Amino acid sequence: MTRLAAFLAFWAIALAAAPVRAEQLIVALSTEEVRITSNFTGTSIAVFGAIERDAATVSRAEFYDVVVSVKGPSETVVTRRKARYVGIWLNSASRTFVNIPSFYAVNSSRPLSEVTTPQILKRFQIGADDLVFPVSADDDAETAGPDDEFRKAFIRLKQQDGLYRSEAYGVKFPGTEIFQTAVQIPANVPVGRYVVTVHLFRDGAMLASDQSEIRISKMGFEQFTFDLAHNQGLIYGLICVILAVFTGWLAGVIFRKD
């Protein structure tokens, strides 16, 4: 309900502000909750949508472009660089990035540079290169620019883990005003609140946006174990020890020779 209310409110404002841009985005997700259970090996979230135009909208020759981005819960990450000291490689310099998305996927109908201008990409933080990377106060700079080597390394390592991904032609148009895409969620995905943002462009101009949420959470045993380990470490540790001693004892009983 809140989503719908937010949606309506957004459109009330959007329509009042820009009566000329009369396109409306209607977005549906294949799921609103991803459950991590013991057999979880990753999943994919399908995003469907339709572009609705009212009768007054002028029909133009240009095609629509759609950019779908999925942002995971933010985290603080230390990026470290190894250096060689007396023949041994060890972590030396580091940079701490604060409040950056733990997961970031962007699917678009065309490469981002063709969809719109660099200014708009930067303003709306679309694409990993245009995300703002705030740096911890201990480090020298306030934010890390696109050429910062720690930032580059961060994005590269995240891409290797499948946690930062982009598909330049990932959004398909089965009809002229209907689009669909699938965002891959790998097995090592962090749990939490995910924000799915859909931007509609035509001719480089942003016509409409839509935001919705997905929850990714551990379920049942996985959730219970994780909570216990993090909130009741002592009890969890004792359970592990009892389990270990019991397993050892059981093996002795089963394999007893005499």
Partner 1 sequence: MQIYLPIAELPVNMFIILGMGGAVGFLSGLFGVGGGFLLTPLLIFSGISPAVAVASTTAQVVASSASAAIIYWRRRMIDVKLAGVLVASGILGSSIGVGIFSLLRRWGQLDLVIAICYVTFLGLVGGLMLTESIRAMINARLGRPAPLRRPGQHNWAHGLPFKMRFKRSKLYVSVIPIIAIGVGIGILGSLLGIGGGFILVPALIYLLRVPTNIVIGTSLIQMTGTMAVATVLQSTSNHTVDGVLALILMVGGVIGAQFGARVGAHVRGDQLRAMLALLVLGVGIRFFVDLVHTPADLFSLATLAGDTR
Q: How far is the CB of 187 from partner 1 (least distance, A)?
A: 5
Note whether 130 binds partner 1 by CB under 8 A.
no
Quick check: helix, strand or coil at residue 191?
coil
SS3 assignment for 132-173: CCEECCCCCCCECCCCCHHHHHHHHHHHHCCCEEEECCCCEE
Question: Other CB atoms closer than 10 Å to residue 83's CB: what's the count?
Answer: 11
- Between the alpha carbon of residue 33 and those of residues 6, 209, 219, the distances in Å are 19, 22, 11
Binding mask of the shown chain, residues 134 to 173, with x at each position contacting partner 1 by CB under 8 A? ----------------x--xx-xxx--x------------
* C-alpha closest to that of 48 among 30, 64, 32, 69: 30
Q: Which lies closer to partner 1 via its Cβ, residue 11 or residue 236?
A: 236
Note whether 184 binds partner 1 by CB under 8 A.
no
Note whether 233 binds partner 1 by CB under 8 A.
yes
33-36 and 205-218 strand pairing = parallel
Window of 11-19, 25-33, 121-129, 233-241 that interacts with partner 1 by CB under 8 A: 233-241
**Residues at the site binding partner 1, with contacts judged by CB under 8 A:** 36-41, 75-84, 87-91, 94, 96, 150, 153-154, 156-158, 161, 187-188, 190, 218, 221-223, 225-226, 229-230, 233-234, 236-241, 243-245, 247-252, 255
